[in-house]
Structure 1
Amino acid sequence: MTPDESSLGRCPDCGEPIPSAWLLVEYERADGTEGVWAECPSCEDVVAPE
């Protein structure tokens, strides 16, 4: 992992940062905003990063 790697946010379950490399799905919500699902490398859950 490189130091300048961007983060998608934090895992809502364990609070650890989720690197962008762990992105699974990127989608557009009905209100036009972007949503993502990613796998947390720490707890191994699929989550919507916060």
Structure 2
Amino acid sequence: MGWALAGRARSTDEQVLELLEPYAGNRHRICRLIRLAGARAARFGPRLAPQEHRFH
């Protein structure tokens, strides 16, 4: 939720509740819409190099 609402990769529970405060009556709906939209934080990890399948 922190990434979708504030652009922060890591957010504590207190920070998320603070971000959702304007949507007090609809917190569950907002969380569900964000999940359905597919908004996720950027993933950082090693990328595999494509394998060469042709013979030299």
After TM superposition, is the score higher than 0.5?
A: no
Structure with higher helix content: 2
TM-score by length of 2: 0.25
- Relative to the length of structure 1, the TM-score reads 0.26
